[in-house]
Amino acid sequence: DASFLGNGGNTYFIDPEPVREFFADYTVLPKEEFSTIFADSHVVVRALKGKEYLFYLVNITDQPQRVVLQFSDTQKISRMSNGEVFIPDAANQIGFDLKPFHLYSFRASDNRITSVSVNAHKL
């Protein structure tokens, strides 16, 4: 979605871990416009429907956030940056703990997000 990312006047020449982790998930996203399916003052969830269902979560605060996604069924989803697989529980839900300003990107075949809940917490 974004064509430019900045963090004030900071320049990152030393590849700090938080920046590396963010960009690992960000750079695997296709250069297409995603639709916002949830947004509040803490977290944004955006999705792209095509051959596959792609989506990402972003914690837009400087505090950790707990995000619980409910899905249309129990099919697995995978994190795009590292292939990690997540399977919804019996209630078709998966919870994620997002660090401050953290982004996760995912791929699913036919599974769709049906609801999102967000709760601030300490890691």
At residue 111, the pLDDT reads 82
- Mean pLDDT, residues 16-31 taken together: 84
The DSSP-derived string for 89-113 is -TTSEEEEEEPTT-EEEEEESS--E
- Percent of the chain residues topping a pLDDT of 70: 83
CA distance 83 to 106: 9
Instruction: From 79, 57, 2, 78, select the one nearest 33 (Cα to Cα).
Output: 2
At residue 123, the pLDDT reads 46
> How far apart, in Å, are the Cα atoms of 96 and each of 39, 120, 121?
16, 12, 12
Q: What is the pTM of this model?
A: 0.84
pLDDT(4) > 70: no
At residue 120, the pLDDT reads 56
Distance of CA 119 to the CA centre of its chain: 15
Task: Please write the tens of the pLDDT for every residue from 43-99.
Answer: 999 999 888 899 999 999 999 999 999 999 888 999 999 999 999 999 999 999 999
At residue 6, the pLDDT reads 55
